Amino acid sequence: DSGVTQTPKHLITATGQRVTLRCSPRSGDLSVYWYQQSLDQGLQFLIQYYNGEERAKGNILERFSAQQFPDLHSELNLSSLELGDSALYFCASSVVEHRGRGYTFGSGTRLTVV
C-alpha cells in the first residue's frame, strides 16, 4: 500500500457520460498530480494541485476538470466521455511542490468507455 488511495478501481461507462475519480494523497503530502496512461501514449501529465491551488496544467482536455479540497483529497471530473478516453488514470502525491523529488502513485482507476 503506497498510501495514495484511488477510487473506484474500475469504472465502465457509456459515451457521453460524466464520471468522477477520487484520490486521497499520502498523509502529509500537499501536492497531487493526475496522469493518464494509455498503451500508445504512456503516462501523460494532466494537472497538478498544491495545497488546494492549481499549479500546473498539462495535456488536459477542456472536458476534464479537477479540484483539490481543504482536506487535500482531489477529484478528477471527466465529462462527455469518448471511446478514446478509455485509459488508466493515476493520481500521485508528493510532500513538496518541487517535482524532482519523486512521486508516490496510487493504484489507478481503469476507465472503460463503451
Q: Which positions touch another protein (CB under 8 A)?
A: 2, 4, 33, 35, 41-45, 48, 56, 58, 90, 92, 97-108
CB of 105 to another protein, least distance (A): 3
Would you say 49 or 85 has its CB closer to another protein? Answer: 49
φ and ψ at residue 100, rounded to 5 degrees: -80, -5
Closest by CA position to 76, among listed 3, 11, 1: 11
Three-class SS of residue 101? helix
CB of 96 to another protein, least distance (A): 11
Would you say 62 or 98 has its CB closer to another protein? Answer: 98
Is the separation of the CB atoms in 85 and 78 below 8 Å? yes
Would you say 45 or 75 has its CB closer to another protein? Answer: 45
CB of 61 to another protein, least distance (A): 17
Beta strand 10-13 with 109-113 is: parallel
